[in-house]
Amino acid sequence: MAMTTGADESTAAGLRELLKTARLLLLVCGIAIVAGVATGAEVRVGFTQDALTLDPANHRKRETETIIRNIYDGIMTQTSKSEVVPELAESVRQIDSLTYEATLRKGVKFHSGDEMTAEDVKFTFDRLTREKAMGGQTSPRQGLLGPLASTEAVDRYTVRFKLKEPWPVFPRMLPVQEIVSKKFVEKVGSDALATQANGTGPFKLVEWRRGDSIIMERFADYYGGAPAIPPTGAARVDRVIFKIIPENASRMAALMAGEVDIVNEVPVFAINTLERSGKAKVVKANGTRTFFIALNVTRPPFSDVRVRQAANHAVDKKLVIDRLLGNTATPVAGVLSPESFGSKPGLKEYAYDPNRAKKLLAEAGYAKGIDVTLDAEGAFKDQAEAIAAMLTKVGIRTKVQVWEGAVLTPIWRAEKKERDMYFNSWGSGALDPTGIFVPTLKTRDRGNTSGYSNAKVDKLLTAADTELDRNKRADMYHQAEKIVAEEAPWIFLWVPQDIYAVSNRLRGWAPGSDSRINLHRAYLAK
């Protein structure tokens, strides 16, 4: 101890040397704070995920599509009300049940300056559908074009698509396929498209700083975009930047700090804070994903329709939507989103009625109640817990088990179903029943997690898949949905909205149900 007393002065002298580094660091920080950077007319988006690739044919990711769609255009596009309208095409018409013909706009330029022609469209679709057409790899988007057999360039501006079998959804799938330049791909090689881009879209790629940001600038020779979505013309801002900020709180903070003008995936708990800040507005669009609880109909207790109906009567959906989802979801009585083609208004909904639920349960022979497990992914734990508590109240004593999605999905998609209930969802960006009704409820289809099988429903769904008369087709879905609602293989829940927030100065952009952020018409108020 003698060493530490009476030596203050010399100790300080010793420490001075050591503190030099720290002081230098602080000084440099001070300078760094002043080194701000001026920004031009640019819109920045705080976005959850980086693009996996910039090659439009080499991914299956919505977020990647959202980014790419500002650089590349498609033959068709989708309005914020989910209508499919021509973009690079002047028109797309059906010639017969197996043939569609697209007439292309003239004078559309790629960012390289070359004109887009039917050859580019043919090349794009061949690359998507032919085996090993992408430098030895097959496009993972091949399945999105269903039975497309061949694409032919009839003349410089006409393309003909031949299908193997009738497929009325074909035009709906065109907005998610972007046109690449044949000349460019042949020059740089298929692999290079992962990082280089030459599209016909409103913005040119400037730089992709992986994991950090994607920087694009206005393409002055842009043909103007879809006439059905005015205003047309070149983009209104000089530059667009997608800044990747995966963490919710940080993304919201970036909006509040004025670093970005749009953020996606606003968590429900942040809505009030953002709105009260006076710095941002929360904007929503109806989503395309139906949430439901799949009930395993292949074994007791849910093999009994009365138990399934009891479960539907036991859940107070409105309460969950109000308390846990901040009123950002629409309850559904059946499978389809109210905005989907073929959805029928007035489909009878199971009212919240715990007494009726108990009665049905007793009628099924379970007066003393049942013990079941509800499987859910971590992200939906609170919603699953709330529903489990409601079910438990009527005698369906439910325990929630949380899993990782990659583990849970294959368990429930396996042919043999061995568990009870699954908090599940299914999305169909095209808002057509074929993308949601068929996979989840047709016998043994890929997403039929409840194990449901009804010959009449199967027949209706199969017929509707190839029916070209829209009214007849819609009617088939109505009939099928009515049967499903009565047989209740699911607890029908809700369709959540996609929630975004924008800065007060952002104009010219509204979210759509396809979760795209197309910035062609966006600008900043002065």
Nearer to another protein, 106 or 281 (CB): 281
Does 401 sit near another protein (CB under 8 A)?
A: no
Q: How far is the CB of 359 from another protein (least distance, A)?
A: 36
User: Rounded distance, CA 4 to CA 164, Å?
Assistant: 90
Q: Can you tell me which of 113, 351, 410, 526 binds another protein, judged by CB under 8 A?
A: 410
Cα(256)–Cα(134) distance, integer angstroms: 43
| 113, 346, 351, 404: which one binds another protein (CB under 8 A) | 404
The nearer residue to another protein, 90 or 275, going by C-beta atoms, is 275
Asked whether 323 and 499 are in contact (CB, 8 A), the reply is no
Query: Does 417 interact with another protein (rule: CB under 8 A)?
Result: no
Least gap, CB of 69 to another protein (angstroms): 17
Interatomic CA distance for residues 147 and 327, integer angstroms: 40
Among 85, 153, 253, 402, binds another protein (CB under 8 A): 253
In single-letter form, the type of residue at position 379 comes to: A
Check residue 246 for interaction with another protein (CB under 8 A). Answer: yes
Residues 6+ apart with CB under 8 A from 71: 54, 111, 197, 199, 201, 203, 204, 205, 216
Based on CB atoms, which residue is closest to another protein, 53 or 479?
53
| Contact yes or no for 194/106 (Cβ under 8 A) | no
DSSP code string of 478-512: HHHHHHHHHH-SEEEEEEEEEEEEEETTEES----
- Identified binder of another protein from the candidate list 188, 194, 234, 474, rule CB under 8 A: 194
**Residues of this chain, 113-132, that bind another protein according to CB under 8 A:** 131
- The CA distances from residue 467 to 286, 434, 479, 481, 483, in Å, are 27, 11, 15, 17, 20
CB of 486 to another protein, least distance (A): 25
Q: What is the 3-state secondary structure (H, E, C) of 3-20?
A: HHCCCHHHHHHHHHHHHH
* Interface with another protein in residues 473-502 (CB under 8 A): none
For another protein, the closer CB: 75 or 245: 245
Q: Which of residues 2-41 bind another protein (CB under 8 A)?
A: 3-4, 7, 9-11, 13-19, 21-22, 25, 28-29, 31-33, 35, 37-39
Figure out which of the listed residues 112, 250, 272, 443 binds another protein, where binding follows CB under 8 A: 250
User: Site for another protein (CB under 8 A): which residue of 244, 293, 360, 400?
Assistant: 244
Q: For the CB of residue 209, give the shortest distance to another protein in the complex, in Å.
A: 7
The residues with which 44 forms a beta bridge, in sequence order, are 241
Question: Which residue type occupies 299?
Answer: R
Which residue from 187, 210, 318, 399 is in contact with another protein, where contact means CB under 8 A?
A: 210
Q: Does 426 bind another protein (CB under 8 A)?
A: yes
Residues 162-191, mask of contacts with another protein (x by CB under 8 A): -----------------------------x
- The smaller minimum CB distance to another protein, of residues 148 and 372, is found at 148
When binding is defined by CB under 8 A, the residue of 133, 254, 394, 480 that contacts another protein is 254
Under the criterion CB under 8 A, does residue 213 sit at the interface with another protein? yes
435: nearest Cα among 285, 287, 286, 288: 288
Stretch that binds another protein, among 71-79, 257-265, 312-320, 339-347 (CB under 8 A): 257-265
How far apart CA 307 and CA 364 sit, in angstroms, is 7
- Interaction residues for another protein, span 137-156 (CB under 8 A): 137-138, 140, 142-144, 146
Q: Report the residue from 427, 466, 504, 523 that binds another protein according to the rule CB under 8 A.
A: 427
In whole angstroms, give the CA distance from residue 211 to residue 311.
Answer: 44
Which one of 55-63, 343-351, 360-368, 504-512 is the stretch in contact with another protein (CB under 8 A)? 55-63
Selected binder of another protein within 43, 56, 58, 457 (CB under 8 A)? 58
Kindly tell me the burial class for residue 69, based on how many C-beta atoms sit within 10 Å of its own C-beta (0-12, 13-18, 19 or more).
buried
- Minimum distance from CB of 495 to another protein (Å)? 15
Residue 36's CB is within 10 A of a number of other CB atoms, namely 7
The span of 111-119, 354-362, 402-410, 490-498 binding another protein (CB under 8 A) equals: 402-410
SS (HEC) of 221-232 = CCCCCCCCCCCC
By CB under 8 A, residue 444 contacts another protein? no
Q: Residues, the chain, total?
A: 526
321 belongs to the binding site for another protein (CB under 8 A): no
Neighbours of 317 (CB within 10 A): 23
The answer to whether 180 and 189 have CB atoms below 8 angstroms apart is: no
CA-wise closest residue to 495 among 382, 349, 380, 337: 337
